[in-house]
Amino acid sequence: MSRNGMTGMIRLHKWQLDEKRRDMVELEKMKADLQQNLTDLQTELIAEQKKVAESPVVSIAYAGYAQQVMVRRMNIVNSILEIEASIEEMKDQLADAFKELKKYEVVEQRERQRELAERDRRTQTELDEVAINMHRRRNQKLG
Compute the mean pLDDT over every residue in the chain, rounded to the nearest whole number. 92
Instruction: Calculate the dihedral angle through the C-alpha atoms of 14, 18, 23, 24, rounding to the nearest 10 degrees.
Output: 100
Q: What percent of the chain lies above the pLDDT cut of 90?
A: 76
Inform me whether the pLDDT recorded for 4 exceeds 90: no
> Quick one: pLDDT band at residue 103, thresholds 50, 70, 90?
very high
**Residue 27 near residue 83, CB atoms below 8 Å:** yes
Distances (CA, A) of 62 to 38, 53, 65: 19, 11, 5
CA atoms of 135 and 126, how far apart (whole Å): 14
pLDDT in tens, 45-85: 999 888 888 887 767 788 888 899 999 999 999 999 999 99
**Residue 7 near residue 112, CB atoms below 8 Å:** no
Q: Which of 49, 40, 46, 29 is nearest to 72 (CA)?
A: 40
Domains of the chain, by residue range, sit at: 3-115
| pLDDT of amino acid 62 | 82
